[in-house]
A and B are shown apart, each in its own frame.
Chain A
């Protein structure tokens, strides 16, 4: 697989910058020898045509939402509207520097302020911070807020976070980074939070529970009001991970379920592009009494103009260099304006309809551990399809059928899990085609499993050796070391 470093010839470059209208300088004159770089970084010098061909070739080896169905559970791979891309490129937004005087960037501040307001309403909570730039970052911020809250309450003994065994790995990782210890609650037979396990775990050392609603099995916590009520009675707080917000957008609000803190994933629910792994945005909404702890600067309006408010003595400080991922937030804002209330409700309606339809069709061929109404996603098991065939094999074979595989081996509480989230962006046609592919693969698994074991055969590369990558890590280009 060629990288830019495999282009050996140096080609004429230059021609990008200039003119040289001030006197040319020697680095030698301005920087002392001991501080000067002696050998250049080994960055290849490619001509522009070569460069473009290289990256075009790389792009063609990728698969994005614009290429086809991408049913990664809990990732909400919905369509990324192009108008939002164009709006984010307007110089009046993209070129703005955050240290410019506030009077010159009122358009940006107003957008942020309005977005905070809209998100607060969608969450059914009082105040929002747009600083966190990813879901995990939002979780971390939430954990900081929880910690500060109990510090102020004079309850430093609250050092534990409860979370279900179906929780996404970022949940316990975020709790640990904030200095909490984590207690896992075993899920009940029905896949939901067990009230017995909850009662057993709740005591005065618990600071908060972290819940994903609906959970990572795609099941809505029917007893959510009881759960949050018991947590509150024990003096603790409820943090909701909003990764699955697409399932009840426009018809229910976490604040109404008892959430004290809630994070959004704008790059999931609000359709901003995933970018191969970011940038995202993970705003956090909180109740009135937690608002005083939100990161600074807050976006404020004093009656005349918008400004950045640094005056928040109980704030946790900052979690980002500036105000969060402005251009990502902008895309979500444009999407939200297009949708309106009607659109928000249509999103969840179609997302849940698509998921239940697909679940209904696929359960005839694959094990469905929780066979009931799901929300926007559901979890199948690849176990029992055929002897010696794993979920990994099924996933790799799906690639040959032209689909991006679903999430595999998560959540951990289902063996050989396949987590499928179609989103509202898919037609019945696509769902039927996917069903047909999955059924064909199940037949192949029984009749000719080599097809699965050898998959993928139609991808730019065959199955990659993960063990080799881990045993002998080559994590940067191995330049031939110069012989002295």
Chain B
């Protein structure tokens, strides 16, 4: 067994030292009745080569997905990942390390965490960020739980225009905690219907750009909410060109960080982003790195404000989170550092430009129109003249991937498709897509 570096001579010596005559004695403390019930999995051991072959075959079954041109979105986007990102994140000192419980030999991890927290604050316009949560959906759920802790009322409002998968996880977490969730509809503009926001809530969760691709105008929303917390789910890349939710007075900003250098990964691992104001620091879930000094007065980093966390507060912790998405946060940090503010803006403009180029051309097709007038970033909803499920299948046959229209139907958009466009979509691909879609009958 390649990964178990022990030889029979050593095993014998060790057993002798312990004073046992066979390895079976090591398991005398497991009740015989339990050992008797044991059944193996039936798996035979395999060589590395065989396993590689098996995995390659499984990967091949997914080939069409990879070779198709993707317009899939919903929080996860097909972005170009610079090579330097995976090279840095693959260093074994980063990925084979554990949580930095011994900070003196974890300055790599901790410095990167500190950088990550700073970057999230910069993008979101907030005071303090944690070192990551599992994904955007659980970040939304944790924000709602935090709002309830702060405000004391067990009622949360969430915009219907928040991603369906965010709302699903929020509902599960809220049900368990006895929190009532009220959905707030969107107006004809595709934006949150502010007149429908209920009173007596701990907080409101809204998203911008939202699940319809529409950019929300957050101006005045915090004032309307008063003491209730404003939680905004944001798209990190869009914030290179959009004003941050922090500028509009958000109390908590969360998001899905996958666009920042992570492959789509069939949905995981992802990267939960979470930032808030200084005054809520002690209510914030998750790990945080803080700056300090060592015995020689030199600057260094360590885990800070840990008294909020489970290993100290136990059942009164702000969350139960222990393992988070650290390596993904490191990846995002290197990605953002590789781009810089200039590269990030350039990338955002490319996305903006290509999405609008496509949207304009599609809207010009007979029977097609943009579902909403308002400004959008790199995702939009297109009204189509016939059954969107059939259109999806036809597009797929031609090598284009679009999302299942069902979630849009649920939101009241019956003949529509949501499309996301990134910098990876060439003009040729976009023009071809328009031609194919226009040619469908």
User: Which positions 3-49 of chain A face chain B at CB distance < 8 Å?
Assistant: 3-5, 10, 13-14, 16-18, 20-25, 27, 30-32, 34-38, 40-46, 48
- The stretch from A201-209, A346-354, A383-391, A438-446 touching chain B is A346-354
**A427 touching B341 by the CB < 8 A rule?**
no
**B375 touching A13 by the CB < 8 A rule?**
no
- The stretch from B24-32, B222-230, B364-372, B432-440 touching chain A is B24-32
Q: How far is the CA of A42 from the CA of B404 in the complex (A)?
A: 38
**A173 touching B76 by the CB < 8 A rule?**
no
**B98 touching A274 by the CB < 8 A rule?**
yes
**A276 touching B97 by the CB < 8 A rule?**
yes
Residue B386 is within 8 A (CB to CB) of chain A in the complex: no
Q: How far is the CA of A289 from the CA of B104 in the complex (A)?
A: 48
**A459 touching B108 by the CB < 8 A rule?**
no
Give the shortest distance, in Å, between A468 (CB) and chain B (any CB).
5
**B172 touching A318 by the CB < 8 A rule?**
yes
Residue A69 is within 8 A (CB to CB) of chain B in the complex: no
Residue A193 is within 8 A (CB to CB) of chain B in the complex: no
**A320 touching B337 by the CB < 8 A rule?**
no
Chain B residue with Cβ nearest A36: B243
**A256 touching B34 by the CB < 8 A rule?**
yes
Q: Which of A35, A225, A327, A424 contacts B269 (CB 8 A)?
A: A327
**A104 touching B62 by the CB < 8 A rule?**
yes
Chain A residue with Cβ nearest B145: A177
**B93 touching A64 by the CB < 8 A rule?**
yes
**B105 touching A404 by the CB < 8 A rule?**
yes
Considering the complex of A and B, which 9 residue pairs feature the smallest CB-CB distances, nearest first?
Answer: A92-B59, A322-B267, A275-B327, A45-B340, A107-B61, A64-B96, A277-B326, A340-B45, A98-B267
Q: Which residues of B contact A283 (CB under 8 A)?
A: none
Give the shortest distance, in Å, between B132 (CB) and chain A (any CB).
7
Residue A195 is within 8 A (CB to CB) of chain B in the complex: no
Q: CB-CB contacts of A293-329 with B at 8 A, as 1s and 0s?
A: 0010000000000000000000011111111111110
**B62 touching A93 by the CB < 8 A rule?**
yes
Chain B residue with Cβ nearest A86: B52
**A46 touching B51 by the CB < 8 A rule?**
no
- Residue pairs across A and B with Cβ atoms less than 8 A apart, 24 shown, are A4-B337, A13-B339, A17-B80, A51-B334, A87-B52, A93-B59, A95-B264, A96-B62, A98-B76, A111-B58, A169-B312, A173-B320, A225-B31, A252-B27, A273-B327, A319-B173, A321-B268, A339-B1, A356-B14, A375-B29, A408-B101, A462-B296, A469-B290, A475-B129
Residue B292 is within 8 A (CB to CB) of chain A in the complex: yes
Q: How far is the CA of A170 from the CA of B296 in the complex (A)?
A: 35
A contact residues, range: 35 or more
User: Which positions 389-414 of chain B face chain A at CB distance < 8 Å?
Assistant: 392, 396, 401, 403-404
**B347 touching A173 by the CB < 8 A rule?**
no
Residue B183 is within 8 A (CB to CB) of chain A in the complex: no
Residue B379 is within 8 A (CB to CB) of chain A in the complex: no
Residue among B132, B307, B337 with the most chain A CB within 10 A? B337
**A16 touching B268 by the CB < 8 A rule?**
no
**A322 touching B62 by the CB < 8 A rule?**
no
Q: How far is the CA of A147 from the CA of B177 in the complex (A)?
A: 10
Residue A433 is within 8 A (CB to CB) of chain B in the complex: no
Q: How far is the CA of A279 from the CA of B287 in the complex (A)?
A: 14
Q: Which residues of B contact A17 (CB under 8 A)?
A: 80, 343, 346-347, 350, 423
Residue B441 is within 8 A (CB to CB) of chain A in the complex: no
Residue A100 is within 8 A (CB to CB) of chain B in the complex: yes
Q: How far is the CA of A182 from the CA of B263 in the complex (A)?
A: 40
Give the shortest distance, in Å, between A159 (CB) and chain B (any CB).
11
**B99 touching A357 by the CB < 8 A rule?**
no
Give the shortest distance, in Å, between B353 (CB) and chain A (any CB).
4
Residue B187 is within 8 A (CB to CB) of chain A in the complex: no
**B65 touching A105 by the CB < 8 A rule?**
yes
Q: How far is the CA of A4 from the CA of B291 in the complex (A)?
A: 14
Q: Which residues of B contact A277 (CB under 8 A)?
A: 98-100, 109, 131, 287, 323-324, 326-327
Residue B314 is within 8 A (CB to CB) of chain A in the complex: yes
Q: Which residues of A contact B188 (CB under 8 A)?
A: none
> With A62-B105, A279-B328, A465-B293 known to touch, is A95 a contact of B341 (CB < 8 Å)?
no
Residue A250 is within 8 A (CB to CB) of chain B in the complex: yes
Q: Which residues of B contact A357 (CB under 8 A)?
A: 14, 17-18
**A356 touching B26 by the CB < 8 A rule?**
yes
Q: Which residues of B contact A368 (CB under 8 A)?
A: none
Q: Which residues of A contact B94 (CB under 8 A)?
A: 59, 62, 64, 275-276
> With A13-B342, A83-B51, A275-B326 known to touch, is A321 a contact of B310 (CB < 8 Å)?
no
Q: How far is the CA of A214 from the CA of B115 in the complex (A)?
A: 38
**A48 touching B324 by the CB < 8 A rule?**
no
B contact residues, range: 35 or more
Residue among B295, B322, B427 with the most chain A CB within 10 A? B322
Q: Which of B39, B111, B166, B298 contacts A3 (CB 8 A)?
A: B111
Q: Which residues of B contact A462 (CB under 8 A)?
A: 104, 294-296, 298
Residue A437 is within 8 A (CB to CB) of chain B in the complex: no
User: Which positions 356-379 of chain B face chain A at CB distance < 8 Å?
Assistant: 356-357, 375
> With A277-B109, A323-B266, A328-B269 known to touch, is A75 a contact of B98 (CB < 8 Å)?
yes
Q: Which of B78, B176, B341 contacts A147 (CB 8 A)?
A: B176
**A318 touching B14 by the CB < 8 A rule?**
no
> With A173-B317, A267-B323, A360-B17 known to touch, is A1 a contact of B96 (CB < 8 Å)?
no
Give the shortest distance, in Å, between B85 (CB) and chain A (any CB).
10
Q: How far is the CA of A258 from the CA of B392 in the complex (A)?
A: 48
**B3 touching A474 by the CB < 8 A rule?**
no
Residue A454 is within 8 A (CB to CB) of chain B in the complex: yes
Q: Which residues of A contact B323 (CB under 8 A)?
A: 134-136, 267, 274, 277-280
Q: Which residues of A contact B265 (CB under 8 A)?
A: 93-94, 96, 325-327
Chain B residue with Cβ nearest A72: B98
Q: How far is the CA of A100 from the CA of B404 in the complex (A)?
A: 8
Residue B117 is within 8 A (CB to CB) of chain A in the complex: yes
Q: Which residues of A contact B266 (CB under 8 A)?
A: 93, 96-98, 105, 108, 322-323, 326-327
**B290 touching A58 by the CB < 8 A rule?**
no
**A1 touching B301 by the CB < 8 A rule?**
yes
**B134 touching A134 by the CB < 8 A rule?**
yes
Q: Which of B27, B30, B48, B108 contacts A62 (CB 8 A)?
A: B108
Q: Which of B41, B294, B319, B349 contacts A461 (CB 8 A)?
A: B294
Q: How far is the CA of A18 from the CA of B346 in the complex (A)?
A: 10
Give the shortest distance, in Å, between A256 (CB) and chain B (any CB).
4
**A373 touching B29 by the CB < 8 A rule?**
yes
Q: How far is the CA of A17 from the CA of B340 in the complex (A)?
A: 13
**A41 touching B341 by the CB < 8 A rule?**
yes
Q: Which residues of A contact B165 (CB under 8 A)?
A: 318, 321-322
Residue A484 is within 8 A (CB to CB) of chain B in the complex: no
Residue A436 is within 8 A (CB to CB) of chain B in the complex: no
Give the shortest distance, in Å, between A298 (CB) and chain B (any CB).
14
**B84 touching A48 by the CB < 8 A rule?**
yes
